[in-house]
Structure 1
Amino acid sequence: MLKIEVGYWLVGAFLLVAAGMNLRERRWSMGLFWGILAIAFLAGDAILAALAAGSRWPAQAMGVGVIALGVLAAARATAHATEPPDAVERRRSESLRLGNRLFLPALAIPLATLLIVLVAPWLHWQSTPLLYEKHASLIALVLACAIAFAYALRVTRATPATGIAEGRRLLDALSWAVLLPMLLATLGSVFAATGVGDAIASLVAAVIPIDNRLACVLAFALGMVLFTVIMGNAFAAFPVMMAGIGLPLLVLRHGAHPAVLGALGMLTGYCGTLLTPMAANYNIVPVVLLELSDTYAVIRAQIPTALALLLFNVVLMALLVFR
């Protein structure tokens, strides 16, 4: 049975390779940054086992590592290296040769993920499922990324070593922003655990007519967008808004379908992702990679799409979550 730990090990192995490549080029800070992160992915199960056995030092050591990551990022020690002009020119000529075919591997990821998730219930060896059912969607994403990587090598006619080297280059270019989705998702869990959701529920109850389900839908949708804009990621906003409005008002009070509400709520939150510089890995890093003069150029281009999607998702929620 394939479990999600395999995906963590693959990510950890790639980070370890990236750390080694940076250290070989004497980029000590960047190598240390990816090396610490690689340990978290590769040794996560061992750390949890040590905690279960009563040992605290692995978790404390990992805490020191997290602090080190923050110090390295704050000190701008993880800035990516300047590429030689011939490498930039070579990549530009390859992009002109391949044209829109460059987008095919990226499009293969969601398509392959969806296909694997749909066929997962029928993937068995004798009576044992091939994919661990609890994490089937995440395992499907890991497999889809592996398929897309192989497809990208076929499209570009590159070697696996070249693919890994280019992946390391992009990883260095993104730098600390790679960690934002994980950190912000954790922040959302912290907010939910500390009672922020209850505070929001009290505030909403004082402001809107909670007996009107459409008013609750609108408050949930706008709250998802607002908290996503503030925290930079819908994963961080979701547990807070579900605890404050989604579960107590929409699901328990008005009988909304939790699965439909969760799916559309996350999509609505992503409208906020398109509007905020806090989502640096989506909206600021591309500006750096494309060398644009306007820091907020990506956000400005996304505003019409974000507003249109917000309106569309609110209508969908009003029509579907109570059926």
Structure 2
Amino acid sequence: MNVNNILEIFYVLIGLIMIFASIESFRDKDNSARFGTGLFWLIMGVIFAVGKYLPNLVIGLLLVLVGILSLFKQIKVGKLKEVNKEVAEKSAKRLGAWLFFPSVVLAILSILISQFTKLGGQVGIGIASVIALITAMILSKTDGKTTYHDSERMVRSVGTAGILPQLLATLGVIFTASGVGDVTSKAISGIFPAGNHLLGVTLYCVAMVIFTMVMGNAFAAFAVITAGIGIPFVVAQGGNPAVVAAIGMTSGYCGTLMTPMAANFNSLPVALLEIKDNLGVIKQQYPLALILLLIQIVLMYFLAF
């Protein structure tokens, strides 16, 4: 079995969890938008589980429908099954430090599979996640029903923010294919002439931050901004490509710390920890992000040339 086939198994598992969330959303009579919410999770479940076998047009139409549901505010978390705090506290006291063991298993197995097999990081995370889940069920003596409800509750509590990274990554591919990098390069070159190393480095790093904040994904921004600014204004002027690429990416991460578009970093903690201030995580991070950006600019200037 090749890597792609193994990945498909994990996509099917993800799709099933989303379908579970769909079923419970349809059952949630306290949710005024239960049909829209249930339909949203059903669509996402189908795309993840069998998207490989659906025509591109069908996938596109389903995503447009998801956008329409979101536009008319028909996707809501609804009422989630509450955790029995008494049972949870007793279980936590009984397990003690072993409570964190499944997380350790997940991290270590992911690294081992990624580094010492030909399966790669994605498959490694998938295998490690399944083993970590089984480990957690054994340690906590949890039955399948509880696992089912905890899984769908977690997915529903995250909401639409959970699929934002995939959509943003797709947007990055579209931007690159449509030549946004070339347009950006021409626009910048008309204002700032090439040849000034410090100016080129500053433009590249700041552009990575801004574009990452807009797209919510440094990987998506990297292809566009590196092609449009990094190569002509830094690499072509004598900058070391390896250094420029590495620090350019970490500059983008500074933008990740300052945008709600980076849902997996800044919105998920708000939802999971039930923080009242939606921007609370970002407010704590942006001063450090600005300091790190200055450090990235200095490092690239001195190390790349």
TM-score between the two structures when normalised by the length of structure 2:
0.81
TM-superposed CA distance for 1:119, in Å, is 1.5
The answer to whether the Cα contact below 8 Å between 1:19 and 1:30 also exists between their aligned partners in 2 is: no
- Which residue type is aligned with residue 67 of structure 2? G
The answer to whether the Cα contact below 8 Å between 1:181 and 1:235 also exists between their aligned partners in 2 is: no
TM-superposed CA distance for 1:243, in Å, is 1.5
Q: Which runs of 5+ in 2 are unaligned?
A: 29-34
CA change 1:6–1:104 in 2 (3 A) is: same
The answer to whether the Cα contact below 8 Å between 1:18 and 1:31 also exists between their aligned partners in 2 is: no
For residues 212-223 of structure 1, what are the structure 2 equivalents within 5 Å?
A: 212-223=196-207
**Is 1:198 equivalent to 2:182 in the alignment?**
yes
The answer to whether the Cα contact below 8 Å between 2:212 and 2:221 also exists between their aligned partners in 1 is: yes
Candidates 269, 274, 288, aligned match of 2:257: 274
CA change 1:304–1:95 in 2 (3 A) is: farther
Candidates 267, 270, 275, aligned match of 1:292: 275
- Which residue type is aligned with residue 119 of structure 1? F
- Which residue type is aligned with residue 71 of structure 1? I
Cα deviation digits, residues 9-42 of structure 1 (max 9, x gap): 3233332244245426625433322222222223
**2:146 is paired with a residue of what secondary structure?**
helix
The answer to whether the Cα contact below 8 Å between 1:229 and 1:272 also exists between their aligned partners in 2 is: yes
CA change 1:230–1:93 in 2 (3 A) is: farther
- Which residue type is aligned with residue 216 of structure 1? G
- Select between 173-182 and 302-311 the one with higher mean Cα deviation: 302-311
1:26 corresponding residue in structure 2 = 27
TM-score between the two structures when normalised by the length of structure 1:
0.77
The answer to whether the Cα contact below 8 Å between 2:15 and 2:47 also exists between their aligned partners in 1 is: no
TM-superposed CA distance for 1:184, in Å, is 0.9
**2:79 is paired with a residue of what secondary structure?**
coil
- Which residue type is aligned with residue 278 of structure 2? T
The answer to whether the Cα contact below 8 Å between 2:257 and 2:289 also exists between their aligned partners in 1 is: yes
**Is 1:187 equivalent to 2:171 in the alignment?**
yes
CA distance in 2, matches of 1:279, 1:98: 34
TM-superposed CA distance for 1:297, in Å, is 1.1
Cα deviation digits, residues 86-139 of structure 1 (max 9, x gap): 63564466557667765554465454433333213xxxxxxxxx53xxxx2322
Candidates 234, 237, 240, aligned match of 1:250: 234
TM-superposed CA distance for 1:237, in Å, is 1.4
- Which residue type is aligned with residue 7 of structure 1? L
CA distance in 2, matches of 1:302, 1:99: 31
Question: What's the RMSD between the two structures over aligned residues?
Answer: 3.2
TM-superposed CA distance for 1:265, in Å, is 2.6
Cα deviation digits, residues 184-238 of structure 1 (max 9, x gap): 1111222222222122212333444532334323222111111111222223312
- Which residue type is aligned with residue 246 of structure 1? G
2:11 corresponding residue in structure 1 = 11
CA distance in 2, matches of 1:320, 1:143: 39
How many pairs align?
A: 298
**Is 1:77 equivalent to 2:74 in the alignment?**
yes
**Is 1:174 equivalent to 2:175 in the alignment?**
no
TM-superposed CA distance for 1:244, in Å, is 0.6
CA change 1:8–1:69 in 2 (3 A) is: farther
CA distance in 2, matches of 1:196, 1:37: 29
TM-superposed CA distance for 1:157, in Å, is 4.2
For residues 141-152 of structure 1, what are the structure 2 equivalents within 5 Å?
A: 141-152=125-136
1:303 corresponding residue in structure 2 = 286
Which 4+ runs in 1 deviate beyond 6 A? Answer: none
- Which residue type is aligned with residue 43 of structure 1? V
CA change 1:291–1:20 in 2 (3 A) is: closer
Q: Which runs of 5+ in 1 are unaligned?
A: 48-57, 121-129
- Which residue type is aligned with residue 35 of structure 1? L
